[in-house]
Amino acid sequence: MADATKKQLEKAYIHIQKDEYDQAVSILKPILNREPNNADAWWLMANTVDDPREARKALINVLKNDPSHVQARETLDVLNEQMPPTNEELEMLLEIEDFGFADDFVPTTPDEQLEIDTLFGDATEIDLSSLDDDLEVIREPSDFDDIVAEDLDDLEAEEDPFADLLDEPAPTRVAVEKEEPSRRSRILTPVLVVLVAAVLASVLFVISGTNEDEDNGEDVDSGRSDLPVLAVYEPDTTELESIVSNATNDARQEFGAESEASLVDTPEGGKALFIEACVCIRPDCSGPSADEMPTIVVDSLKLAASRIPAAMEETVPFAGVNIVVCDTSDAVYRAYTPVQSVRDFRRDESDENLAAFQTAWTVVQQ
């Protein structure tokens, strides 16, 4: 990168930190006109615009020119989950080589197969030191906070709903104390607020696995503490593990070795048995193609429902599907539906009944 361009990027960065977004854009646009492949300029542009569509476009351009840009990839993942892309934007996403992953990138997931990050992935800390080692950043309120205001009102101050999901606070919210505590600055506010909105949205869809909860030593499969104890039938952990294990084996035989099964706590109460399958977007991928996704979604729901015994429907009343891009943990579609609706559909799998079946789905991401 030419020294003149680097100095211009540093100026834009300073303007963004001071909330002077118009000035930053006036610097970045000429750079991008001259150097449309400049990933650093696109990254700053993504953190300057307040329109999620413009932010998504900038992030896609970052990944097109620098597939190993981890922060851009993770920010785009969360933006897509919180604000699903349009069909046109989805086509742009699929144009990114390897869906924004470097060839040697290995997703950082826990050893336990049923850990939450198997479905949702991890986030890594945003590193801005390459532009200015001396600058420190902190998030402040913005207009986007209206998105999550109602959810914030519902959370009790003394309660940490994410205690069993994260080992430490979300690393993307980088905060430091300056010599004068009253002087604080911000950077990346539009994208960071989207991240916060996504985390709060996850309260409505908390994932629990069969691994041991590290914070309180209790088994996560026992369910949330605020749910009533089931009086009719209360399976033990072994039975739940057996369901997940059998469903995983079946899924791998039907959809490939990357397939998994997991139990999920739903907002309606009770658990959902999720089947995770992957689709390919690269020619050298050996899994199912993206064109097969509609069939895989229906078949996954049917498989999940078939693995739930009738005696356990009160505990696991839902079947779910999570479609990811093969060799990544990027989810492109996620939904669940009552087990009974799956069984009703299996009695008549006509196109007309399929449309009625789809109306019973709760789509978490598309």
Task: Report the pLDDT value the prediction gives residue 102, as an integer from 0 to 100.
Answer: 35
DSSP of 18-52 = TT-HHHHHHHHHHHHHH-TT-HHHHHHHHTT---H
Q: Specify the pLDDT at position 80.
A: 81
CA atoms within 13 Å, Cβ hemisphere of 120: 21
pLDDT tens digits in sequence order for the chain, 366 residues long: 677 888 889 888 998 888 888 888 999 989 899 888 899 999 999 998 888 888 888 898 888 888 888 888 888 888 888 777 776 777 677 666 444 333 333 333 334 333 333 333 333 333 434 434 433 333 333 433 343 344 334 433 334 433 333 333 333 322 333 333 333 333 344 443 344 344 334 433 333 333 334 444 444 333 333 433 333 334 557 888 889 999 999 999 999 888 999 998 888 888 999 999 998 887 778 888 888 889 999 999 999 999 999 888 888 999 999 998 888 878 888 999 999 999 999 999 888 889 889 989 998 865
| Residue 35, helix vs strand vs coil | coil
How far apart are alpha carbons 246 and 256 in whole angstroms? 15
Residue 74 has a pLDDT of 87
Give the separation between CA 134 and CA 294, rounded to whole angstroms. 50
pTM of this structure: 0.39
Say which residue the tokens 């420190």 belong to: 136
Q: Determine contact, residues 49/61, Cβ cutoff 8 Å.
A: no
* Residue matched to tokens 């800390």: 125
Helix ranges restricted to H, 66-188:
70-82, 87-95, 117-120, 149-154
The whole-angstrom separation of Cα 365 and Cα 327 is: 19
Q: How far is CA 242 from CA 245, 249, 270, 336, in A?
A: 5, 11, 17, 21
Residues 272/73/201/294 CA torsion (nearest 10 deg): -40
Q: How many CB atoms lie within 10 A of CB 291?
A: 9
Enumerate the β-bridge partners of residue 336.
320, 362
What is the largest distance, in Å, between two alpha-carbon atoms of the chain?
Answer: 72
Please name the amino acid found at residue 78.
Answer: V
Instruction: Please state the length of the chain.
Output: 366
Dist. CA 222–CA 302, nearest whole Å: 25
Candidates 251, 273, 249; CA nearest to 262 is 273
- The two beta strands, 362-365 and 331-338, are antiparallel
222 within 8 A of 265, measured Cβ to Cβ = no
E strands, the chain, are 260-265, 271-279, 318-325, 331-338, 362-365
Provide the pLDDT for residue 201: 40
Tell me the sheet residues that pair with 323.
277, 333
Confirm if 325 and 99 have CB atoms less than 8 A apart.
Answer: yes
Domains observed in the chain: 1-204 (1.25.40.10), 220-365 (no CATH)
Distance CA 195, CA 204 (A): 15
